[in-house]
Amino acid sequence: MKKRNLLQRAIIIGIVTVVGFYIVIGPHGRRPHLNDLKWSGIKANLENNIHLGLDLKGGSHLVMRVKTEEYLKRLTEDNAIAAQNTAKEAGFEVKEAHAETSSGSYRVFLQATDPSKVKDIRDAVEKKVDLGDRAGWSFSTSGDVISWSLTGAQQVALAQQATEQAFKIIDSRINAVGVAEPTLQYHGGQNSHEILLQMPGIQDPEHVKQLLAGQSHLELVHVISPANPAPYQTYSTKEEAMASLNSGGKTPANRRVLRDTERADVTTTPDANANAPKPQKWVVVESPAIIDGIDLRSAQAISERAGGDKYQITFSLKKNGADKFGAWTGANINEYMGVVLNDEVKSIAFIKSQIFDQGEITGNFTKEQGEDLALTLRSGALPAPIEYSEERTVGPSLGQDSIRSGVRASLLGLTLVVLFMLVYYRGSGINAIVALLLNMVLMLAGLIVFGATLTLPGIAGIILTIGMAVDSNVLIFERIREEMRSGKTIPSAIEQGFAHAFVTIIDTHVTTIVSSLFLYAFGVGPIRGFAVTLVLGLLVNLFSAVYVSRTIFMWLLSRRGRRVESLSI
């Protein structure tokens, strides 16, 4: 039975070891070749498999703060103008309208000519402008002065919304640069509204800043196509779309040919992947656009019916945009309209009825698709300005120096630990060394599997893990020594040593893992890198220092039989 148990353990350790080595030094995404067994091949695979952080690879580091106060200020001022125009259109005389945006207070004021019309003015304004309770504005009146104040909770919600919009814009633009493994994440506390961007390999932060400073160009356009219920007209190639214009291969001034990048619709095609683009198509649209993104006030994704899985986009327009859009939609019922962002068609829907300041975009969107499109629309309409709180560039030579120093420190620490274990614990020290080497291989494999980025603090975490891995073996070996001194046989001493030391090992590992999880939850980039490597190392250590080490002792005992009179420890 014990031989059977030993065989099972050996098979598990062998499989884990082989898989771990392959993950670390094997090729990913292709079949292995003989060249992968050469040092050059192993080195190349290591570079591809292990993602290095900015401090090791070099690149640009930017911390950006979204100026949410500017976002709220502009929103309040726009609402003040919209409220005044709406009141006048409804036939009410207004002496004055202005916005107050100081000291964290955002208020809209209207002064009515006739104080008795205050309630009617409020009803007319809130019907057209997002100034009601639902929009997070509290109403008050004093004589002939009407005011709406943005609540604190809504300020927080809108500021967070502005940060998310900026995050999405930045994400789309850095992906366009083609940077390998960029890091984009929220930075600081919840109310800091900061975004951290790290771009390994990019040495020119000014180029990055120019890219991020560009504007998202949003348009609502008329799609040239037969009207609904016929499907909208698409073309397989740009040349085919151009040919449909019958203009001798030139695009007329009143037409544009754009790529249709609308995502697959999983509601009508259940097997479709929501993130997979449809086959490449092209559409012809009318120029100029019906309205620009600057005319858009807000956009939200809502369910078409309660509890349903189909979503649509509701949007509202500023007055100038509403006038233009109302005139166009009234004359183009059942015509197709496209949502264009940066010269790519993101969505196409038909006009059900005349739309003025509010409307809907239908397209059988999933919840995720609807929310993404609504966020994209808001981003184009109300981009929040950003300022750079921190900026630095790490050169590749400095990163290489860090790698060399980190590897040198790891090897020196490993060598000293190996010498100590061999001198102090003699033969049993070999047991600890095998477990330690396996620990390091599996820890690197874990970093690769989870897609973690190795940073300089991460290397520090690896070095610390080496010490903690040896500490586990020291606990076990000292316990075995104590059991042997008390007169127990060697097999019994080994069994009792592992049994009693295991509780202590679990206790120390769990407390350290909990501490590391707090570091990860509340820390930022480098601190998180340290926490990730430490947690992975500790989890792997429970396997290597306990399971593998005990298996080696079981193998030694099985070779010598139950009558073992000495143990090199």
Which domains, from first to last, does the chain contain?
Answer: 2-58+395-560 (1.20.1640.10), 68-154 (3.30.1240), 218-367 (3.30.1360)
Alpha-helix residue ranges (DSSP H) falling in 389-489: 396-449, 456-485
Q: Specify whether the CB–CB gap between 453 and 183 falls below 8 A.
A: yes
Bridge partners, 109 (sequence order): 98, 147
| Residue where the block lists tokens 């790490």 | 394
The Cα 19–Cα 449 span in angstroms is 11
The predicted pLDDT at position 215 comes to 53
The predicted pLDDT at position 16 comes to 92
Query: Average pLDDT of 526-543?
Result: 84
The two tokens of residue 553 are 């002792």
Is it the case that residue 397 has pLDDT exceeding 70?
no
Alpha-helix residue ranges (DSSP H) falling in 450-489: 456-485
The two tokens of residue 84 are 């005044």
The predicted pLDDT at position 274 comes to 47
The predicted pLDDT at position 270 comes to 45
Is it the case that residue 268 has pLDDT exceeding 80?
no
Q: Determine which of 23-37, 82-96, 300-314 has the lowest per-residue pLDDT on average.
A: 300-314
Q: Model confidence at 464, in pLDDT bands (50, 70, 90)?
A: confident
Residue 246 buriedness (CB in 10 A; 0-12 / 13-18 / 19+): exposed
The Cα 390–Cα 535 span in angstroms is 29
Contacts 24+ apart (CB under 8 A), 117-122: 117/92, 118/144, 118/146, 120/90, 120/92, 121/87, 121/90, 121/92, 121/94, 121/146, 122/146
Pairing outcome for strands 336-341 and 344-350? antiparallel
Q: Model confidence at 284, in pLDDT bands (50, 70, 90)?
A: very high
Distances (CA, A) of 70 to 187, 293, 311: 20, 18, 31
Distances (CA, A) of 192 to 65, 189, 218, 545: 7, 5, 28, 43
Is it the case that residue 383 has pLDDT exceeding 70?
no
Is it the case that residue 235 has pLDDT exceeding 90?
yes
Q: What is the DSSP letter of 191?
A: T
The Cα 568–Cα 426 span in angstroms is 6
Question: What is the three-state SS of 87-139?
Answer: HHHCCCCEEEEEEECCCCCCEEEEEECCHHHHHHHHHHHHHHCCCCCCCCEEE
The two tokens of residue 16 are 């884990």
Residue-wise pLDDT tens digits, 132-146: 888 899 999 988 899
The Cα 20–Cα 29 span in angstroms is 16
Q: Determine which of 48-52, 303-307, 345-349, 439-443 has the lowest per-residue pLDDT on average.
A: 303-307
The Cα 433–Cα 360 span in angstroms is 66
The Cα 533–Cα 528 span in angstroms is 9
The Cα 302–Cα 372 span in angstroms is 12
Is it the case that residue 269 has pLDDT exceeding 50?
no
Angle of helix 396-449 versus helix 2-25 axis, rounded to 10: 140
The Cα 550–Cα 528 span in angstroms is 32
Pairing outcome for strands 386-394 and 281-286? unpaired
Q: What is the DSSP letter of 179?
A: -
In whole numbers, what is the pLDDT of the chain averaged over residues?
Answer: 82
Is it the case that residue 422 has pLDDT exceeding 80?
yes
Q: What is the CA radius of gyration of the chain?
A: 33
The Cα 231–Cα 234 span in angstroms is 9
Is it the case that residue 382 has pLDDT exceeding 50?
no
Query: Average pLDDT of 35-39?
Result: 84
Alpha-helix residue ranges (DSSP H) falling in 293-395: 319-330, 367-381
Which residue from 177, 421, 227 is spatially nearest to 332, judged by alpha carbons? 227
Q: Model confidence at 266, in pLDDT bands (50, 70, 90)?
A: very low
The predicted pLDDT at position 434 comes to 87
Alpha-helix residue ranges (DSSP H) falling in 196-311: 205-213, 238-243
Which residue from 170, 223, 212, 165 is spatially nearest to 340, judged by alpha carbons? 223
